Structure 1
């Protein structure tokens, strides 16, 4: 084959194209290397790094990752540091104010203070590699467009990213705490208690509490979600034992869901060095493979949706607002700190953060943006109180030789800024579903509600380790799974309510059924399951709709045809399904707002995930505070269906047989600077998206009414058959490069859209490379 030419990919199957091609190597010098490192890139641009020393492979990873994703990495660290407005302008001031108010920068610096041993060496080497790339020219074109040069990378920067992601994941509990409590205060206990996913204790009904909740304002959360919707929810991970796998080895699959971005937040890599041979997806900005495999095992993660933060309603002194009620009859001064936020093209902004013993008051964000602050609310967030990191745990998993090593590493995740489910399988056939991280041990029974600070609520009696007690190891059914649902692991560690707002159980039920009904699972079957569009939540609701609609007498032929669509719908959110289009418009654009109107429950109906709990409870109850009997409920269902039909006629025309779910539910990927001509190619066309809020292929809505833009989904999908020690199967939602001009910016997207995976080798000697680079010490080869 001639230099620079590409081989035609050989195919083991249509699902798994092999990665083969060829090119001529070159040599580059990188400061800090002690020995040369080979960088072999396959035709997807995935780097296979081969080094004689582990510290060198991580230094090379920093250099290579920065070469592909430096501006994305810089933007992510700025999100954590509260320095986005400095380069992108005043629009991003709220995000900067949030990061600084909650204490992300201080917590990240604290987490980096006492690193030692392998963790310190690895993170420092990675940072040095990134900084070596920053020192080179040319820089990625984003920096030229925006007119700034990135600062050298530090160990703290990796933690800034981890802490900002951690807070975004914490929104999965914080948002329902605030919006449900406000609705509880406005609706009263009888109606408001229906909104919660579990019964409220009687103590939630007292008048003083409900009055305080009526004063809650969501300015803080509105500011965050307006610019960066919460990136969590929808992740799946599962594994089966050899007796359930056709190949005779454990099978492991995972597809963590995060905010759709171009490029994906995940970066594919293969690292080879003494006592290290790991491949998979690392969250960009760090050196840790969190979805992947080594020679002995494979793993994937989901968000545990554990409750590691409290909202505490405070009472300020009526004559001196710089003091707050700390104990009955006692007032204490607020702690005050000021920060200056640089703003591109404008004067610096002054942020004043006040804090009680429970944490910072969130009104600083409202003050900065001119929004209504409401009653003062403090944030008590575990990562800010006990800063730590997950690096030691992930390094141990990456180098693990089997289940025992992974179990021994579990408590090393206690300091992580968010809690995770880890699904693991090894070459000996062992399986595990571990809960990782730590959760507060709360006093009392009101953990799912905002606390009242002047009553002494919101007190924590320590922090409980999730990893100290393995959740499920080698279960008798030969399968483990997680889909962000409530499991009991966080409750066990918290000694109470540790996960009050877990995800809807529909996806977990779907996984359980699919895994336990089979005994010959394959990589191909698991890849199909990752894009499964069956919505068991919708299927459970359908009988109630169908019962109500069977008696619906209408003379409108469009309504009659639409009714038949819904009566015949099977609960699959397929792209070409008219029944799916009608159902989701009915449920989220009509049924939810009818129950929770904006004038009574501001903002609730727009948060479909939170509103679903109450909306389903009312739908399934023969009698409720909304409907006195089943007949009244049925009449409301018919009214909402007629409104949904009218809405769809406006959106999709008068022929229901031509309605398509994919026309209302589309996914779009765009580079953050795609508005600029240089990056216009980064605005990728919108694609019809299958799936629903509660199917395994969850494409989370960006709005609660059509068009339902899909804003959260699987940034990476992976399946590993441990009967095959030399390969794994994976694809990103976009591609390896962050540059829209690169052929690797979105080259994986067609496979991602089709639900296909690439077969990637772990045998570096067999990688037929597209390009090869030798990274040499700056002082010459040694």
Structure 2
């Protein structure tokens, strides 16, 4: 017996030793790819030495004698910290994810191939100006220098993910950087999804007049009546079945609610306490770990530039120099039109045009799939754009038999000079210079805020399609592609894009709200992303005669919901303080307790308070009850509360209160009935999920920011090391925006918001500040993987200074790149 015990102990010890050895080996291999920031390297193609000084937040400050060497070093630094992220962005744009991830990403690859984004990027290389071409080549050479160093020095394949998902990494090319711009355009686009949803709603609603309730226009002048979609495209079936949306972590295709958003505002010297201009910017994208943004400073011959970059591109997208600051928001411009193309019944290789049937432009494309045979798909293009599959955004549900859908989109231009324009802007030194420099910007459409020492301006940038005034749907619904009036007639001149220069009031801003009210076809858009945050922003800006850097920070971090303040008095009008006291433990008593809490609430979406959770659950349940009977399965498409819809119904604007009546029931329900029933629904859900004690609820427990790793975030055990979860303030409609998931077991998880924040003060430029939501490194073993995360959560920032001495003080390393002797 003793001998058996001895052998069992030996076996157990051996197993423990093997586990320890295995863990140690994994750690060793993963740690090999941790970059060394303190070294001297000799590299080819440099003309003079370059220094990469990494400050104590690991922000690289790059100093060189020639601009091309500085961009070379930026490529090297991006590849040091974010190689995996860069290669994933490139693979996504190329439609080559399945080579690494197998069948799970085949549908994503198919869609990207059909859009032909990467081929368009390759074609766009030739239209860049010579200076941009040199910068793109220098940047690519710097990335490749890091790849060569990884291979020659056995640096763990460059990133831990490379061991898990082994795939060769090809050399970086200038087209790769251009493809990433187009990929970001895809993430920011929403009009295609909006057109399909509007068409499906039109088919589903028995009363077409109710469409303006559930998909309301932003307040302003009315829009001319649209035809019913069934009349516009005869033969389409009503109540077509929906297909579930594929929500893969790596998919760049965003539903309407998750398309890009942002805040930006500026103050002229007359509205600044210090007499200098101010600018605040926080672009909103889906949260990931690491964040999409990477902070960097470039010391160019034209002066220092510092701000937010995206690894893979050699440009500061939001930032400042000593003389000029710039920030971006998604413009909401309608730069996508969906067409229904009639296929020739006698020849399926042809489609109908205004001049008769014409052959599709076709090309075969092979998709290689890990652990599976490759597949070949046929790409088809019409004069209007690429033909899309019926599964994409449920296109099949609005496409008649014998037809296909195609997409016109400015991002698909093969003559895209956006990179050249962005690089020229980065080296401009005044507002007026910047407005000239950015004219070549094609897509994605943005609102560009510019400030210099004396002036502020905002200009919508990006190509605006020229539409015929006779367009059947004004671009709001899919339209027949064979009718000439529906087709794009080229582009509008840059001068026609809305602009606001040196306003008398001294304040400019945008929260993705409606900026102009112009008649079609110069309308810019019918769909705007925000009608709520702008209300709070106006109040905060006008509450002070003059502003400071700190007041801009306060506005950026503001968590008061205008939506809650405006809707709660409406939906609870007949519920507040009514009825007798109810026995403890009854649903009525719980409802009274919830209403009492909400009655004394200021609308602040604070993570430590219970009221935001009660309010959010109530509104979610209310909208679900109101739309379910009219829309049926299509109701699941409305993942987030539409405040204007709720307001229209409760104010009974144009008879919108009909949404509160349940069609299937004999009694006529009022909106007050719906509000009461929805509150009970919400309280049952809260009790089942969080417990019955309403006073002890915390909004932050439900509203956790989910900075998840796109590929390792679901791996057991490992996910605890690579995912970053935080209790957060804010909500769907606050200036500190934390857009909720809207679906799933955790509908209030914070999944989309300001992963970058910056506030620039030109009275004292080096007092400017910025922050990202995670950290600079993409390596989960690095201390810089998440060292900014808690600062970001608490609303803190780090210095955004061009002071070289400050950068060198307490730096985490200095990398010197020298030309090969």
Following superposition, the deviation at residue 542 of structure 1 comes to 1.7
1:626 counterpart residue number: 659
Structure 1 residues 542 and 381, CA, compared in 2 at 3 Å: closer, same or farther?
A: same
**1:338 equivalent among 364, 367, 387:** 364
Structure 1 residues 380 and 760, CA, compared in 2 at 3 Å: closer, same or farther?
A: closer
1:352 counterpart residue number: 378
Following superposition, the deviation at residue 708 of structure 1 comes to 1.4
Structure 1 residues 659 and 276, CA, compared in 2 at 3 Å: closer, same or farther?
A: same
Partner secondary structure for residue 774 of structure 2: coil
Following superposition, the deviation at residue 61 of structure 1 comes to 0.6
In structure 1, stretches of 5+ residues that fail to align are: 1-22
1:585 counterpart residue number: 617
Counterpart CA distance in 2 for 1:476 and 1:727 is 27
Tell whether the 8 Å contact from 1:262 to 1:682 is kept in structure 2 after alignment: no
**Paired residue total:** 749
Q: Which piece of structure 1 moves more, 642-651 or 737-746?
A: 642-651
**1:712 equivalent among 735, 752, 761:** 752
Residue 451 (structure 1) aligned with residue 479 (structure 2): yes
Counterpart CA distance in 1 for 2:714 and 2:489 is 50
Partner secondary structure for residue 654 of structure 1: coil
- Matching of residues 375-394 of structure 1 within 5 Å: 375=400, 376-385=404-413, 387-394=415-422
Counterpart CA distance in 1 for 2:775 and 2:755 is 10
Question: What TM-score, normalized to structure 1?
Answer: 0.89
Counterpart CA distance in 2 for 1:101 and 1:730 is 38
Following superposition, the deviation at residue 551 of structure 1 comes to 7.2
Partner secondary structure for residue 369 of structure 2: coil
- Matching of residues 562-641 of structure 1 within 5 Å: 562-588=594-620, 590-597=621-628, 600=631, 602-609=633-640, 611-621=642-652, 623-624=655-656, 625-627=658-660, 632-641=670-679
Residue 411 (structure 1) aligned with residue 439 (structure 2): yes
Counterpart CA distance in 2 for 1:370 and 1:488 is 31
Following superposition, the deviation at residue 35 of structure 1 comes to 0.3
Partner secondary structure for residue 253 of structure 1: strand
Counterpart CA distance in 2 for 1:770 and 1:464 is 49
1:758 counterpart residue number: 798
Q: Deviations over 1:252-286 (max 9, x none)?
A: 11110111011111111111132131011112211
Tell whether the 8 Å contact from 1:352 to 1:364 is kept in structure 2 after alignment: no
Following superposition, the deviation at residue 226 of structure 1 comes to 8.9
**1:84 equivalent among 66, 91, 97:** 97
In structure 2, stretches of 5+ residues that fail to align are: 1-35, 583-587, 662-666
**1:115 equivalent among 113, 125, 128:** 128
Q: Deviations over 1:443-476 (max 9, x none)?
A: 2252212212344453112212446656111111
Partner secondary structure for residue 126 of structure 2: coil
Tell whether the 8 Å contact from 1:179 to 1:218 is kept in structure 2 after alignment: no
Following superposition, the deviation at residue 598 of structure 1 comes to 7.8
Q: Deviations over 1:396-432 (max 9, x none)?
A: 222122112112113121x2x21011112112x2111
Tell whether the 8 Å contact from 1:252 to 1:719 is kept in structure 2 after alignment: yes
Following superposition, the deviation at residue 582 of structure 1 comes to 1.6
Partner secondary structure for residue 492 of structure 2: strand
- Matching of residues 392-431 of structure 1 within 5 Å: 392-413=420-441, 415=442, 417-427=443-453, 429-431=454-456
Q: Deviations over 1:315-357 (max 9, x none)?
A: 33456544434349x4444333321111122111222333333
Structure 1 residues 79 and 27, CA, compared in 2 at 3 Å: closer, same or farther?
A: same
Tell whether the 8 Å contact from 1:40 to 1:773 is kept in structure 2 after alignment: yes
Following superposition, the deviation at residue 525 of structure 1 comes to 2.4
2:565 counterpart residue number: 539
- Tell me the C-alpha RMSD between the 2 structures: 2.9
Counterpart CA distance in 1 for 2:763 and 2:674 is 55
Following superposition, the deviation at residue 366 of structure 1 comes to 6.1
Tell whether the 8 Å contact from 2:287 to 2:755 is kept in structure 1 after alignment: yes
Following superposition, the deviation at residue 210 of structure 1 comes to 7.0
**1:191 equivalent among 210, 230, 240:** 210
Counterpart CA distance in 1 for 2:86 and 2:629 is 39
Q: Deviations over 1:28-59 (max 9, x none)?
A: 12221110001111111111000100010000
1:209 counterpart residue number: 232
Counterpart CA distance in 1 for 2:370 and 2:398 is 26
Structure 1 residues 229 and 453, CA, compared in 2 at 3 Å: closer, same or farther?
A: closer
Tell whether the 8 Å contact from 2:549 to 2:760 is kept in structure 1 after alignment: yes
2:762 counterpart residue number: 722
Partner secondary structure for residue 373 of structure 2: coil
Structure 1 residues 544 and 51, CA, compared in 2 at 3 Å: closer, same or farther?
A: same
Counterpart CA distance in 1 for 2:743 and 2:646 is 13
Residue 179 (structure 1) aligned with residue 175 (structure 2): no
Counterpart CA distance in 2 for 1:402 and 1:548 is 56
Tell whether the 8 Å contact from 1:569 to 1:579 is kept in structure 2 after alignment: yes
Structure 1 residues 619 and 156, CA, compared in 2 at 3 Å: closer, same or farther?
A: farther
Counterpart CA distance in 2 for 1:373 and 1:363 is 12
2:785 counterpart residue number: 745
Counterpart CA distance in 2 for 1:31 and 1:609 is 53
Q: Deviations over 1:668-707 (max 9, x none)?
A: 2122324458954543342222111111111112224753
2:510 counterpart residue number: 482
1:698 counterpart residue number: 737
**1:440 equivalent among 465, 472, 484:** 465
Tell whether the 8 Å contact from 1:243 to 1:519 is kept in structure 2 after alignment: no
Structure 1 residues 467 and 76, CA, compared in 2 at 3 Å: closer, same or farther?
A: farther
Tell whether the 8 Å contact from 2:75 to 2:140 is kept in structure 1 after alignment: yes
Q: Deviations over 1:506-564 (max 9, x none)?
A: 21222222122213422222222212111112222122112132376484211211122
Following superposition, the deviation at residue 306 of structure 1 comes to 1.0
Counterpart CA distance in 1 for 2:722 and 2:436 is 45
Structure 1 residues 520 and 678, CA, compared in 2 at 3 Å: closer, same or farther?
A: same
Structure 1 residues 719 and 400, CA, compared in 2 at 3 Å: closer, same or farther?
A: same
2:814 counterpart residue number: 773
Following superposition, the deviation at residue 313 of structure 1 comes to 2.1
Tell whether the 8 Å contact from 1:62 to 1:130 is kept in structure 2 after alignment: yes
**1:654 equivalent among 647, 671, 692:** 692
Tell whether the 8 Å contact from 2:264 to 2:509 is kept in structure 1 after alignment: yes
Partner secondary structure for residue 286 of structure 1: coil
Counterpart CA distance in 1 for 2:339 and 2:432 is 41
Q: Which piece of structure 1 moves more, 252-261 or 702-711?
A: 702-711
**2:589 equivalent among 557, 561, 568:** 557
Q: Deviations over 1:639-664 (max 9, x none)?
A: 11221121111112112212222222
Q: Which piece of structure 1 moves more, 449-458 or 136-145?
A: 449-458
Tell whether the 8 Å contact from 2:178 to 2:419 is kept in structure 1 after alignment: no
Q: Which piece of structure 1 moves more, 189-198 or 225-234?
A: 225-234
Counterpart CA distance in 2 for 1:115 and 1:420 is 20
Following superposition, the deviation at residue 565 of structure 1 comes to 2.2
Counterpart CA distance in 2 for 1:360 and 1:293 is 38
